[in-house]
Structure 1
Amino acid sequence: MQSPVQASVIISTYNQPKWLELVLYSYDLQTVSSFELIIADDGSDESTKAVIDAFKTSSKLSVTHVWQKDEGFQKTKILNKAIMASNSDYLIFTDGDCIARRDFVETHLKLKRPNCALSGGYFKLSETISKTLSKTEIKNQKCFDANWLVAKGQPKTFKLNKLTKSNIKAKLLNVFTPTKATFDGMNVSCFKKDIIAVNGFDERMKYGGEDREVGERMMNNGIKFLQVRYSTICVHLHHERPYKNLESERNNKKIRQETKKSKSTYTEFGINK
């Protein structure tokens, strides 16, 4: 008998089938299996669908592919659709270029608290490592091993601490990090009811802080964001961002300023129109 779904992992993607294949594989290796995967697909072509269909046949996990037509960067819209397609009361948001360590889902579930959201981070892999990474390094978890990464040419910086396996060290670093706990779409979790209460993502927003804004409305609505960046571990594959543009960033900034100024807890441009 299958255990009830304790979490819905929402993975956003757009035309990166090779990466998505590695990311999905990392969820097949999780220490718990009481979760479902919802792929929030912002208009990818058939090659992404082929990767998802192949994974569905090989995996025991429940996988839902939520797709919309490609009409430019509309991540906020597909994420709202994914929220509504989820079957759990707890949501973990991440991206199709972030490979999860095998305790990723378990740690989000362990650390969840009522009236709180968990704010995680990611460790950026170098371009060289990103290009050569395969399922082998995910299966043996080498891509989360600081020593292995450095030996492969990853720069040796303080950020390697983001891969710590020590719970005590992770707790200390979570407390002392100067980074604010915010809604970062590549590694964040919350109760479904708390994001629905603020009407989900603002669909006017394109790339640049669109995830932060929903978090700001949640904070205005009394949700506390807890820092877990050294506990919920994922590695981010290197890539360019061709969809980045100044006009959408300016527009997003304006919306975020309005949210802060008015202490808004709801958007008219979200799940319910």
Structure 2
Amino acid sequence: MNASDPVSVVITTYNRSDALLAVLDGLSRQSDRHFEVIVADDGSREEHVRPIVESANAKALKLVHVWHPDVGFTAACIRNRGVALASSPYIIFLDGDCVPERDFIAQHKALAQTGLFVNGSRVLLSPKLTQRVLAGSEQICGRSWLFWLGQRVLGHASKLTHLLRLPDLPRRIERAFSWKGIRSCNMGVWKADFERVDGFDESFSGWGHEDADFVLRLHHSGVLRKNGFCATEVFHLWHQEANRNKASQNAQRVKERVKNGLIRSTLGYSQARLNDNARISRL
């Protein structure tokens, strides 16, 4: 992919406007400016929607905000909605609590390759460092290795791999399906491949493993995983874990699909959506 080629960044969010504003700030600092932003909002309350649509960065990024009513954790559905509004042939998924480094877009483009999707990773930040970022008293994009070494020593960052930039070597490609490290919070995929598997499966309810199912079906369709370590890491802002009472049930469904070779969603991207109260704002 050329640096001038456009990509679409689809960001999921829910009732965390302070974190999303930090993510948008990171996107506003990108070295590569050839991208659009779609915020896929899983039913945030109005007090969390308003700061986003009114923010200066949202307008500077020419952001599109798509919202649907809150009916529980429906990440698969809102991601599909976001992709439906994307105008570029390549989609980068990002979560609304994952702040990108300045070369995030450029690195994803450098790793993009036909027949592959890019699975990125994240650096976990501590509650204390997260609070400083959310308060606007600490900027984490573009900081030196010395700053991050200090944060690592103090226990505020889980690793330092984001400081390295390793070349695009064949060893990045995984030819067998693996659950380990699947991150839809940082993932790049061709829109044509997304459509081939009919996107995320919206029949998965509650938190967990809808991203593993998506990756598995990509694998069944012949699209392999390329790891974006030491290239596309994002800074994950701390938060309490979501309710995971459906995780084991969802995991079992994925295990069954490992055996049956399913490619297309049972309830996916291409379904008709009539009178469902979605709201779209173009800034």
Does 2:193 align with 1:191?
no
Q: Deviations over 1:127-185 (max 9, x none)?
A: 1111122546336633984224136x2268xx5232224435x9699589xx8776411
C-alpha RMSD of matched pairs (Å): 2.7
Does 2:147 align with 1:167?
no
Partner of 2:152: 150
For the residues of structure 2 that align with 1:135 and 1:165, how far apart are their CA atoms?
A: 26
- CA 186–242 in structure 1, closer or farther in 2 if over 3 Å, else same: closer
Q: Contact 1:146/1:163 (CA < 8 Å) preserved in 2?
A: no
Structure (1/2) with the larger helix percentage: 1
Q: Contact 2:173/2:225 (CA < 8 Å) preserved in 1?
A: no
For the residues of structure 2 that align with 1:125 and 1:79, how far apart are their CA atoms?
A: 25
The percent of aligned pairs where both chains have the same amino acid is 26
Q: TM-score, normalised on structure 1?
A: 0.87
How far off is 1:111 after superposition? 1.1
How far off is 1:227 after superposition? 1.1
Q: Deviations over 1:93-115 (max 9, x none)?
A: 01011000000011101110011
Q: Deviations over 1:178-215 (max 9, x none)?
A: x8776411111010110111011111112111111101
Q: Structure 2: 5+ residue runs without aligned partners?
A: 272-283
The residue correspondences of 1:1-273 to structure 2 (distance < 5 A) are 6-55=6-55, 59-133=59-133, 134-135=135-136, 137-138=138-139, 141-142=142-143, 145-150=147-152, 153-154=154-155, 160-167=159-166, 183-205=182-204, 206-245=206-245, 248-273=246-271
For the residues of structure 2 that align with 1:262 and 1:13, how far apart are their CA atoms?
A: 32
How far off is 1:254 after superposition? 2.5
> Which AA in structure 1 matches 2:99?
I
> Which AA in structure 2 matches 1:131?
Q
How far off is 1:4 after superposition? 7.5
SS in 2 for 1:77: helix
For the residues of structure 2 that align with 1:57 and 1:102, how far apart are their CA atoms?
A: 15
Q: TM-score, normalised on structure 2?
A: 0.84
For the residues of structure 2 that align with 1:142 and 1:55, how far apart are their CA atoms?
A: 24
For the residues of structure 2 that align with 1:117 and 1:4, how far apart are their CA atoms?
A: 20
Partner of 2:275: none
How far off is 1:243 after superposition? 2.6
> Which AA in structure 2 matches 1:272?
S
- CA 155–4 in structure 1, closer or farther in 2 if over 3 Å, else same: closer
For the residues of structure 2 that align with 1:143 and 1:99, how far apart are their CA atoms?
A: 16
SS in 2 for 1:94: strand
